[in-house]
Amino acid sequence: MKECYHAHLQYMRVGQGLGIDYFHCMKCNCCLGLKSASHKCLEKGLEMNCPICCDDLFTSSATVRALPCGHYMHSSCFQAYTVGHYTCPICSKSLGDMAVYFGMLDALLAAEVLPEEYRDRHQDILCNDCDKKSASRFHWLYHKCRFCGSCNTRVIKTEATNPSCP
């Protein structure tokens, strides 16, 4: 039989109790494991529905996972979602360290030769990970952020030429 304790607001939670294996974050208004003491806090972050299954997170008895960006989803939904996605479904930030994946994309892009009519084209991009704008050489799929090295970007403008783009 699992141990339960009364959390703030009279909700029952599974665990040994506040201060033992959990603490209550007043800003998020949720009970988190002591290992999560340095979590990224979003005000009332759990008082929403899971972005995958749309069930309420706050009153759910299913395990909830905190994402690096501060959003939450059920652990089982996270497992199913990350089979084919690597970004938060709410804010589009990367869900983990993507350095190896982005390195593979860099190698693929370096080996690719664009048709002549596209070689001088450039695109303004917005990085979903660092929220900064920069310019990138034209490509149909991937654009590397100059600031953080992420390929988790979106095109905001396409230009025929841009001399400031490397």
What was the pLDDT predicted at 56?
Answer: 92
State the CB neighbour count (10 A cutoff) for residue 101: 14
The phi and psi torsions of 131 (rounded to 5 degrees) equal: 65, 25
Instruction: Give the helix/strand (H/E) hosting 104.
Output: helix 99-111
CATH class of 99-159: mainly beta
Tens of pLDDT, residue by residue over 12-48, are 455 555 556 666 676 766 666 666 656 666 666 678 9
The structure's pTM equals 0.75
Tens of pLDDT, residue by residue over 47-79, are 899 999 999 998 888 888 889 998 999 999 999
Buried b (16+ CB within 10 A) or exposed e, 72-83: bbbeebbeebee
| Domain residue ranges in the chain | 4-81, 99-159
CA separation for the pair 129, 158 (Å, rounded): 21
Of 125, 144, 143, 121, the closest CA to residue 134 belongs to 125
What was the pLDDT predicted at 6?
Answer: 46
